[in-house]
Copies of this chain bind each other. A is one copy, B any other.
Amino acid sequence: MPSILIVDDEEDIRELIAVNLLREENYKLTEAVNGLDALEKAKSDRPDLIILDLMLPEMDGLTVYKTIREDARTQDIPVIMLTARGRLEEKIEGLELGADDYLSKPFSPKELMLRVRNLLRRTNPNTGSNVVESGPFSLDKNALKLHLDGEEIELTATEFKLLLSLIESPGITQERADLLKKVWGYSDMIQTRTLDTHIKRLREKLTQYGNSIETVRGVGYRFSEG
């Protein structure tokens, strides 16, 4: 789970960011209200990303930024800077930003979200959350879990692979042979009830959403969102 340090003296903005980030993704958030606080937490927590408002009391935001860049423990952490539109913005454009980014206030939460996601992806390519969604179904490839209707449904490894195969092409019928190949590695047209049995087990766990796995007689199975 990526961790993010938010540095801003205005509680409103911290709140705004926190709510939007937390709602969209799974981030662990830390907050700091002034420059010293920020530097300390950056060094100790080593967050994956810092969102830094340049308008800070006492210590100037750009000074904070430069200090972050000079300390070995923090210099690799990407920073998104928030600036009021105007002179400060020009100064930043003069900076060699490297992996960093900035955003002029007022900013849209969506825009911020996008930059956060991009920056995290750029600097830590494997971090992207990994969820396959289809309708109310949400398969988490990292946790090997299914989220459905607010519930968290445990799946065994085989069930997971089978459901993943189906859910990756909603509405498309997958042939029995293909599923046996994908999930079990069977290469021949083996005659077995194994697939059927696992389909049944899956269906049992998904009863709350009607018949999301349809049988296509003579062909295979098809997933649909409900």
Q: Taking beta carbons and an 8 Å cutoff, which residues of A are in contact with B?
A: 1, 118, 121-122, 124, 126-128, 130, 132, 134, 141-144, 156-157, 160-161, 164, 167-172, 182
> What are the residues of chain B within 8 A of A161 when measuring CB–CB?
142-144
10 A-B residue pairings within 8 Å (CB atoms): A121-B169, A122-B172, A124-B169, A126-B132, A126-B134, A126-B169, A127-B168, A142-B164, A144-B144, A156-B157
The answer on a CB contact under 8 Å between A144 and B160 is yes
Closest to A181 in B: B1
> How many copies, total?
2
Provide the bound-state CA to CA distance between A176 and B132, in Å.
Answer: 28
Q: Which of A130, A142, A170 has the most CB of B within 10 A?
A: A142
> What are the residues of chain B within 8 A of A157 when measuring CB–CB?
144, 156-157, 160
A136 nearest CB across to chain B (Å): 15
Given contacts A141-B141, A141-B142, contact A126 B168 (CB under 8 A): yes
Provide the bound-state CA to CA distance between A122 and B174, in Å.
Answer: 11
Q: Which of A124, A126, A134, A170 has the most CB of B within 10 A?
A: A126
A139 nearest CB across to chain B (Å): 9
